[in-house]
């Protein structure tokens, strides 16, 4: 047989799938893969059910159902004062994953350099490499994961085509602050580069912090594409409805890639998400406050058990140091042990690194779970880690 695609054939299965399968196999409480255990608003699910029965059930337009594209444009105007033309500057995709892939394929050429920040979400690099582009990775350090101007100056250069920024950030829960965004904006303009912003957790930012789209900074609208996910915004992760917004000149080639990746996305779900975006109360402070209470509950429990937790300002996730409880195990071995022996699944943070010698003392817990599930997990940890110690 001729050799297979070296990029994909050499990859493992994503850590989220691996840990969820292990959790199912061992009956563990799954705080690994990021998904809520309560489905999002009934009104949105009812709208989808109605649309399955009454239609539309045939191919929607390639760019997305007009009502959803209009709702996304309205959303961005209302929240961030960003003005997009819904017909040419908004594209509906099959989840943020597809939006990111379409954007990378649509915007990159072989040899282009892409600046990324480590730890990074696992879908980015395989697509960047498949596009023939070259990653230039800035490694951020715990506990604050601060991005400095000096670090940016080491990776930006004449070949920099694009920066991929994820804020709020998975797995760290970091929200990039105005100073960090300004430093990045400055380099983007100076080197005439593009930004692809993975902002799927935009509505999962806790009190005291604000989500600021890079696109809303002066001069950045023309060079920035913003990626969002209805799965995150409405606690419906399995729906895989995403969307992106950006200037028409960038969205056009991205739509060309999209038309050959998926072409379109289930129309009933699009119609229902459009209705959901109009229900501002369904995803504004209500979701943040509920999630903040869950974060506090899990963090307090983890600390009681003896974990040192790192600060978290947004997303579904909290990271914890395992040094004191880790039994000398590296993060991946510890997560396996925790899942199979203690009955609580978590994700090793080293899975979010590409470069050599990733940190081995951090694991990620997902807190978007019912309070009784979080308590059950803490109970297991307490019995397994503290009592057995």
Which residues form the interface with ligand PMP (CB under 6 A)? 34, 95-97, 121, 166, 170, 198, 200, 229, 231, 237, 240, 242
Report in angstroms how near the CB of residue 34 gets to ligand PMP at its nearest: 6
Strands 134-139 and 113-118: parallel
Q: Which of 16, 80, 337, 353 binds ligand GLN (CB under 6 A)?
A: 16
The residue among 31 and 47 lying less far from ligand GLN, judged by its C-beta, is 31
The residue among 17 and 324 lying less far from ligand GLN, judged by its C-beta, is 17
What does the DSSP assignment read for 166-194? ESSPTTT-----HHHHHHHHHHHHHTT-E
The DSSP H or E segment spanning 110 is none
Tell me which DSSP letter residue 109 carries: -
Q: Which of 282, 285, 224 is nearest to 251 (CA)?
A: 224
The residue among 167 and 170 lying less far from ligand GLN, judged by its C-beta, is 170
- 277-312 burial, b at 16+ Cβ within 10 Å, e below that, comes to beeeebbeeebbeebbebbebbbebbeebebbbbeb
The residue among 237 and 264 lying less far from ligand PMP, judged by its C-beta, is 237
The residue among 160 and 166 lying less far from ligand GLN, judged by its C-beta, is 166
Structure tokens at 313: 């300002």
The residue among 16 and 80 lying less far from ligand GLN, judged by its C-beta, is 16
Report in angstroms how near the CB of residue 313 gets to ligand GLN at its nearest: 17
Q: What are phi and psi for residue 217, nearest 5 degrees?
A: -80, 150
- 198's contact among ligand GLN, ligand PMP, none, with CB below 5 to 8 A by partner kind, is ligand PMP
The residue among 366 and 377 lying less far from ligand PMP, judged by its C-beta, is 366
- Compose the 33-72 pattern: x for residues touching ligand GLN by CB under 6 A, - for all others: xx--------------------------------------
Report in angstroms how near the CB of residue 1 gets to ligand GLN at its nearest: 29
- 127's contact among ligand PMP, ligand GLN, none, with CB below 5 to 8 A by partner kind, is none
Cα–Cα distance for residue pair 127/163, rounded to 1 Å: 14
By CB under 6 A, how many residues form the interface with ligand GLN? Answer: 5
Q: What are phi and psi for residue 380, nearest 5 degrees?
A: -60, -40
**Burial label, 158 (beta-carbon count in 10 A; 0-12, 13-18, 19+):** exposed
- For residue 144, what are the contacts with CB-CB under 8 A and spacing of at least 6? 174, 311
Residue 350 is a binding residue for ligand GLN (CB under 6 A): no
Q: Which of 93, 170, 172, 265 binds ligand GLN (CB under 6 A)?
A: 170
- 95's contact among ligand GLN, ligand PMP, none, with CB below 5 to 8 A by partner kind, is ligand PMP
- 166's contact among ligand PMP, ligand GLN, none, with CB below 5 to 8 A by partner kind, is ligand PMP
Cα–Cα distance for residue pair 108/204, rounded to 1 Å: 30
Kindly tell me the number of DSSP H helices and DSSP E strands found in the chain: 14, 13
- 33's contact among ligand PMP, ligand GLN, none, with CB below 5 to 8 A by partner kind, is ligand GLN
The residue among 36 and 247 lying less far from ligand GLN, judged by its C-beta, is 36
- 96's contact among ligand PMP, ligand GLN, none, with CB below 5 to 8 A by partner kind, is ligand PMP
In sequence order, the β-bridge partners of residue 117 are 138
Residue 55 CB neighbour total at 10 angstroms: 11
Structure tokens at 97: 């994953």
- 242's contact among ligand GLN, ligand PMP, none, with CB below 5 to 8 A by partner kind, is ligand PMP
Cα–Cα distance for residue pair 179/201, rounded to 1 Å: 20
The residue among 156 and 201 lying less far from ligand GLN, judged by its C-beta, is 201
């Amino acid at each position: 047989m001729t050799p297979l695609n070296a990029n994909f054939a050499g990859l493992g299965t994503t850590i989220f799938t691996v840990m969820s399968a292990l959790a199912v196999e061992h009956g563990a409480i799954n705080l690994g893969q990021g998904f809520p255990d309560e489905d999002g608003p009934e009104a949105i699910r009812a709208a989808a059910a109605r649309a399955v029965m009454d239609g539309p059930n045939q191919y929607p337009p390639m760019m997305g159902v007009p009502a959803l594209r209009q709702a996304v444009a309205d959303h961005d105007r209302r929240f961030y004062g960003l003005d997009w033309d819904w017909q040419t500057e908004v594209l509906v995709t099959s989840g943020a994953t597809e939006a990111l892939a379409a954007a990378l394929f649509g915007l990159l050429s072989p040899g282009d350099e892409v600046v990324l920040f480590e730890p990074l979400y696992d879908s980015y690099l395989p697509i960047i490499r498949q596009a023939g582009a070259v990653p230039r990775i800035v490694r951020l350090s715990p506990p604050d994961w601060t991005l400095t101007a000096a670090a940016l100056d080491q990776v930006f250069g004449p070949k920099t085509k694009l920066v991929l920024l994820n804020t709020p950030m998975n797995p760290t829960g970091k929200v990039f602050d105005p100073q960090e965004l300004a430093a990045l904006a400055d380099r983007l303009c100076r080197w005439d580069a593009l930004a692809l912003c993975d902002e799927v957790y935009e509505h999962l930012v806790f009190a005291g912090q604000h989500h600021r789209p890079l696109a809303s900074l002066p001069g950045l609208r023309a060079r920035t594409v913003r990626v969002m996910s209805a799965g995150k915004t409405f606690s419906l992760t399995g729906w895989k409805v995403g969307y992106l917004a950006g200037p028409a000149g960038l969205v056009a080639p991205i739509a060309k890639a999209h038309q050959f990746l998926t072409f379109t996305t289930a129309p009933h779900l699009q119609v229902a998400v459009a209705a959901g975006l109009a229900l501002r109360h369904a995803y504004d402070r209500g979701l943040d406050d509920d999630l903040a209470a869950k974060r506090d509950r899990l963090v307090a429990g983890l600390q009681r058990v003896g974990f040192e937790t790192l600060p978290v300002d947004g997303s579904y996730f909290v990271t914890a140091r395992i040094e004191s409880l880790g039994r000398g195990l590296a993060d991946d071995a510890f997560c396996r042990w925790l899942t199979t022996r203690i009955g609580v699944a978590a994700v090793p943070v080293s899975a979010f690194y590409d470069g050599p010698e990733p940190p081995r003392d951090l694991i990620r817990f997902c807190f978007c779970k019912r309070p009784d599930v979080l308590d059950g997990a803490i109970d297991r940890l307490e019995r397994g880690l503290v009592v057995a110690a």
